Amino acid sequence: MTSQITSQTDIQHSTVPAYAAPSAKAPLERTAIPRRPVGEHDVLIEIKYSGICHSDIHQARDGWTEGIFPMVPGHEIAGVVTEVGPGVTRFAVGDRVGVGCMVDSCRECDNCRAGLHQYCTGGNVATYNGLDKNGDPTYGGYSTHIVVDEQYTLRIPDQLPLDVAAPLLCAGITLYSPLAHWKAGPGKRVAIVGLGGLGHMGVKIAHAMGAEVSVLSQSLRKKGDGLRLGADHYYATSDETTFQKLAGHFDLIVSTVSAPLPFDAYLCLLKTGGALVNVGAPEEPVSLNVFSLMLGRKTLAGSAIGGIPETQEMLDFCAEHGLGAEIELIRADQINEAYERVLASDVRYRFVIDAATI
């Protein structure tokens, strides 16, 4: 192993190269950040690849809440274990591993005990732009190394190449969790709204689960891609007849778009008892006519990533079915350009940073 960690005068921490936004809206630049020493239950991961999620851009540009700067985004991390703490039992040096959107949680609330760490009521620790239990800011995957508790580290099966596995840690689990929860499978008609970084994983996973999959997209521009990725049908929502044609058609609709949806129109597309689940969130509150839910006992729901056990289940499922993300591999010095392209929807379908270039 060649470690790029260089010791500094502070023997408690190591510093590692990273790309960070020094302040809100500032371009990301190469810098060095501290990583905590490898503790009793920690693993040191040499990061190989890190995906660029739309939420990285939101947070680096301070669109949601006040961020912690400098900020090293990245919560789609794939790499290899290079050191383990003395109490680590689940991983060994050389293991292929991943880290998603959280690196710790309270571990005691009902949700944590149920494996639903993403809904931890004690407050989970975000992989970046969060505060560790000791009060230090967390830094994400746009970096060469990260230290993570083994309980929040995922195993990436050998069949999955690390570059296409990285985006599964956020985009993959974000779609897998609602598809599994609402039982996408044989005999079920599932629609994925939007064919972007999230949506393309939704198509692949729902297809692998055995559902009949439709894409609902603004235009037919990406129809060829959608069908190639596993969709059975592809509809343009700009075409009014789509909504007439598909009334009462779907068991489950998963919306990945952050633009506000006309909910009443989409709820009409559900069968009785169907569910419309949001994994993309508009920034402004939305409205709907409650009759759209009552007439047909329909559900309007939301879902956020997944817990640690379900994330592992998703990785194993993707390995079994040969599913990875469609990626465009970039150098670290292309991150700012990649951000602009994500904002312009000019990516098919996920940018992944080659950490060797950081």
Q: Which residues bind Zn ion (CB under 5 A)?
A: 53, 55, 105-106, 109, 112, 120, 122, 170
Interacting residues of 334 by C-beta distance below 8 A, sequence separation 6+: none
For the bound state, the minimum distance from the C-beta of residue 154 to Zn ion, rounded and expressed in Å, comes to 15
Under 8 Å between Cβ of 253 and 269: yes
Q: Where are the beta strands (DSSP E) in 237-335?
A: 250-255, 270-278, 299-302, 327-330
Output the smallest distance, CB 33 to Zn ion, in A.
20
Secondary structure letter of residue 279 according to DSSP: S
Residue 98 near residue 169, CB atoms below 8 Å: yes
Query: Percent helix, strand and coil across the chain, each rounded to 5?
Result: 25, 25, 45
> Shortest distance, CB of residue 311 to Zn ion, whole angstroms?
12
DSSP letters of 120-148? Answer: -TT--EESSSSB-TTSPBP--SSBSEEEE
Nearer to Zn ion, 53 or 195 (CB): 53
3-state SS class at 155: strand
> Based on CB atoms, which residue is closest to Zn ion, 82 or 174?
174
To the nearest whole angstrom, how small is the minimum distance from the Cβ of residue 129 to Zn ion? Answer: 12
Q: What type of residue is 228?
A: R
Give the nearer residue to Zn ion in terms of CB position, either 84 or 120. Answer: 120
Calculate Rg over the CA atoms of the chain. Answer: 20
Nearer to Zn ion, 174 or 312 (CB): 174
Q: Which is nearer to Zn ion, 108 or 239 (CB)?
A: 108
CB of 56 to Zn ion, least distance (A): 7
Q: Considering the complex, what minimum distance in angstroms separates the CB of residue 124 from Zn ion?
A: 7
CA nearest neighbour of 318 among 119, 95, 149, 166? 166
Cβ distance to Zn ion smaller for residue 44 or 352: 352
